[in-house]
A and B are shown apart, each in its own frame.
Chain A
Amino acid sequence: MIEGLSRSAARNIFFGGSAFFFLVFAGLTAHSHYYIVNVSTNQEGLTPSVIAGKHVWEKHSCINCHSLHGEGAYFAPEIGNVWTRYGGEENPDGARASLKGWIRAQPLGVPGRRQMPYFDLSEEELDNLIDFFRWADAMDTQGWPPNKAG
């Protein structure tokens, strides 16, 4: 295939084709942006508390042990559906209390078990975090994960 092609033709195809595919990609990203804001996530529910929760998540870099919607590290359980896993749908207050209790109880110190560190979080920060988990869990992720185990 390559013999019939001159170097300058190859270069022109590269520039033309890349520009074309970039524009298509940028257009689809713009549409996806619109879709995320208007369809798949709850933009009204994106309260200051949810955003504050995202900052708590980032401040302690939870992503470097856990995954969130399957992205991040693989050392600790998935968080994107933790709200569902703790029964948040049926019993929101119970799930909130158990999640807070779990985070506060760290490190468990069970010998031979992976440990989550102790993080010095205020009551408000814990609530923000849980609000963030709950908001993230409600995103339309095309049916992922396959089951509650995450």
Chain B
Amino acid sequence: MKYATQRVALPFFALALALFALQVTFGILAATVYVLPEFLVDYVPFHIMRMSHTNLLIVWLLIGFMGCTYYLLPEEAESEIHSPMIAYVQLAIFAVAGAGALVSYQFGIHEGREFLEQPLWSKILITVSFLMFLYNSSRTLLVGRKTAINSVLMLGLWLAAIFWLFAFYNPGNLGLDKLYWWWIVHIWVEGVWELIMASLLAYLLIKLTGVDREIIEKWLYVIIGLALFSGLLGTGHHYYWIGAPAYWQPIGSIFSTLEVAPFFAMVMFAFYMFWKGRRNHPNKSAMLWTLGSAAVAFFGAGVWGFMHTLSFVNYYTHGTQVTAAHGHLAFYGAYVMMVLAVITYAMPQLRGRQPYNQILNMWSFWVMTSAMCFMTFTLTFAGVVQTHLQRVMGINYMEVQQQLELFYYMRLGAGVFVAIAAVMFLVAIFGPAREELPEGMALTAR
């Protein structure tokens, strides 16, 4: 660790991972209700579990992004963080907003739009905290060196904050509500968050492979160009059936198909740099998460996204388990794995030692990734059967669901393995550090 203030990242990572563990727990509870409908009905109904699950996901990813930013910014900008104090205060505010919302959900206090259930006071605190974060990090960038990596990262974060403001606009006309709701939800994950993902990927590749900055940064601009050129109009794939004009069917189909391109470019980029790289970095597990993230994002977002994005396919699959399958693998590959990659890379420096517990960390990678893939496959099968029975044959929803029980059992099983892998990850990161290096790497590490 070259800069003392990079330490600021540590509590962000710790809190993010704790909330990740909670997110997975709520996921398992919700998946249990799918197979045992009476489970906890009188205590925590399904809708509360579900909003806890999805909100925890968003909150921990945002905290993770902030931690990643505080970690890489001093190195990239060659300057200490403007104010560590602001960082800690801002984290505390965010934690209160997130935890407060989570607790209030358990008492039935929430708003009512998907993913935006936070009560108004929580939304305001989130905004305040995020603005403090942006102030702090932008001040750091302004006095320091401006690289493509830190500029693109900051651009992504600022844009995420700007589009978040639509969360405060809830028109009474349901069509308008949906029109602008997607300005947050879609523009985040298929637009500005991709800027964040791509810059984190570029940062890790420079560090881990030692490839020239000039080459990496050029790729970075190409990738984010592909992301926004396709992703903005690609929002049209959510405007097919909500009361918007019919022209979104061709526009949304074409541009959202092009959204596969940035994810394809990222996976090509990652593997190309990996082969080209001269540096044999000892942190093999960070390299594994980095490559894994690019690859799984390509499958989850690119392949699974394309599968149901053409309007004439989406007409049948819209709002079925196919959507749930895609949502899981895309979020996991693009954002969960990328944050875990940065954490895996940064923790040895933050704890002041050589890469440690790598074998356990890699086990966690393989178990978690396989389990998330399995969950995606089983939900995809459920979704295809559901689409056929309900959308093609016209059989009633509840009857169709009874046919899908086996898939829901398998999803629950996969979830248990995700939880086991998450515990392995936590132990590998925060547990006692043993310098176990992969076979044959021991020499290059020193």
Contacts and interface: CB of A to CB of B under 8 A. Distances in A.
A148 B394 contact: yes
Contacts of A75: 33-34, 46, 50
Interface in B26-65: 33-34, 37-38, 41, 45-48, 50-51
A70 B46 contact: no
B225 A114 contact: no
Interface stretch (B199-207, B243-251, B359-367, B437-445): B243-251
B47 A32 contact: no
A73 interface: yes
B239 A32 contact: yes
Contact of B179 (A14, A32, A135): A32
Contacts of B111: 58, 61
A91 interface: no
A140 B219 CA distance: 43
A61 B245 contact: no
Most chain A beta-carbon contacts within 10 A, residue among B51, B112, B248:
B112
Nearest to A57: B112
A98 interface: no
A46 B183 CA distance: 23
A117 B41 contact: yes
Interface string A133-148: 0011001111111111
A89 B52 CA distance: 37
Interface in A90-133: 107, 111-115, 117, 132
Interface residues of B, number: 72
Nearest to A19: B228
A145 to B, nearest CB: 7
B398 A64 contact: no
A21 B232 contact: yes
A36 B176 contact: yes
Interface string A1-41: 01001110011011001100110110011011101110111
Interface stretch (B13-21, B122-130, B314-322): B314-322
A26 B23 CA distance: 34
A54 B48 CA distance: 19
Nearest to B396: A149
A6 B217 CA distance: 10
Contacts of B148: 7, 11
A74 B319 contact: yes
Nearest to B394: A147
A58 B174 contact: no
A150 B33 CA distance: 22
Contacts of A140: 243
A25 B234 CA distance: 9
B176 A74 contact: no
B224 interface: yes
Contacts of B243: 36, 40-41, 69, 139-141
Q: Which 9 A-B pairs have the closest CB atoms?
A: A58-B112, A70-B319, A64-B47, A144-B241, A10-B221, A36-B175, A51-B172, A70-B318, A77-B397
17 contacts: A11-B148, A13-B221, A14-B224, A14-B225, A33-B179, A36-B179, A36-B243, A65-B50, A69-B242, A70-B318, A74-B320, A74-B321, A112-B37, A112-B38, A117-B41, A142-B246, A144-B315
Given A41-B243, A77-B397, 15 more contacts: A5-B218, A7-B217, A13-B225, A17-B228, A25-B232, A32-B244, A36-B244, A40-B175, A40-B245, A61-B111, A77-B396, A114-B46, A117-B41, A146-B315, A146-B391
